[in-house]
Amino acid sequence: MSNSLEDKVIVITGAASGFGKASAIRAAQEGARALALIDKDDLTETAKEIGSYGTETLSFSHTDVTDEKQIKIAFQAVGDAYQTIDVVYSNAGILGRVSPIEDFSENDWNKTISTNINGGFHVVQAAIPYMKENGGSIIVTASVSGVRQFSQLGFTAYSTSKAAITAFARMAAYELSQYNIRVNSINPGASETNIFNSGSFSEQLDKLTPVHEVPELAIPLGKKKNQADAIANTFAFLASDAAKRITGAQIVVDGGETLLKG
Considering the candidates 89, 158, 174, 179, report the single residue annotated as catalytic.
158
- Contacting residues for 145 by C-beta, under 8 A, at least 6 apart: 152, 155, 158, 159, 162
Instruction: Answer yes or no: 130 catalytic.
Output: no
Contact 25, 232 (CB under 8 A): yes
Helices (H), the chain: 18-29, 44-51, 68-82, 106-113, 119-127, 156-176, 228-239, 257-261
Domains of the chain and CATH, by start: 9-261 (3.40.50.720)
| Low-confidence stretches of the chain (pLDDT beneath 70) | 1, 193-199, 201-202, 212, 214-217, 262
State pTM to two decimals: 0.94
The whole-angstrom separation of Cα 114 and Cα 97 is 13
pLDDT at residue 210, rounded to an integer: 72
pLDDT at residue 56, rounded to an integer: 96
pLDDT at residue 225, rounded to an integer: 80
pLDDT at residue 262, rounded to an integer: 65
